[in-house]
Each structure stands twice: as C-alpha cells, then as structure tokens.
Amino acid sequence: MADAINRLLDTLVARCAKGEGVMRYFQVGVIGYGNTVGPALGGSLKDRELVWIDEIADNPLRVEERRKKESDGAGGLVEVSVMFPVWFDPVADNGTPMCQALWLAHTILEN
C-alpha cells in the first residue's frame, strides 16, 4: 500500500509539472491509522494534515533506486533502473481503526 501511495503522489506531482516547476493546484493529505490516527507524511511534512502539491514535490523523505522490467521492443523484457521518490513509509502498529481515520479526513476537509 505504501508503494501505491508513493506512486500516486509521484503521478500527481508529474501531472502538475509546468516548465521547470510544479504548480500549486491543490493540497494532499495522507492519513495513517494503527496505534494512532493522524497525518502520515514524514520528514519536513510530518504532522501536516494538508500539504500543497508543490511542497510534496520538493520534500520526499528519500529517493530510492529501484529495478523495473520494461519491454525491450522485441517481445522480451529488460531490467532498468528507475528513481522512486518516497514520502510515506509503511508502519504496522496495532489495529486498523479505519472509522477514526475517515472521521479525521471528514474533520480536516470540513475545516
């Protein structure tokens, strides 16, 4: 799930890129839930309920080098190296209080 969220954030950043920067089109929030319920982004974005998309672009926790299989154009696959930004790390900690997480999302959006 963490990889899916990080891929989604990377896609949103790419879609908001214009020229040499990322446009401030909207805000994003990531809520984690387990032992505690709250904002789940890390690093300089920690504890922030909503973050502008350009701030997401500028503040990944880290950028990892990963291997990905792609078509070689002749019916086969080749492994290529890709850079993968990470804003959110998975944490397994107690239960899954999804109702509390949804209520927090409602409260944040209502404000």
How is residue 1 written in tokens?
């799930």
pLDDT tens digits for 4-42? 999 999 999 999 999 889 999 999 999 999 888 999 999
CB 6 within 8 A of CB 81: no
pLDDT of residue 50: 97
Domain coordinates of the chain in residue numbers? 2-94
C-alpha dist (Å) from residue 69 to 65, 72, 83, 94:
13, 9, 13, 35
Confidence of residue 96 (pLDDT cuts 50, 70, 90): confident
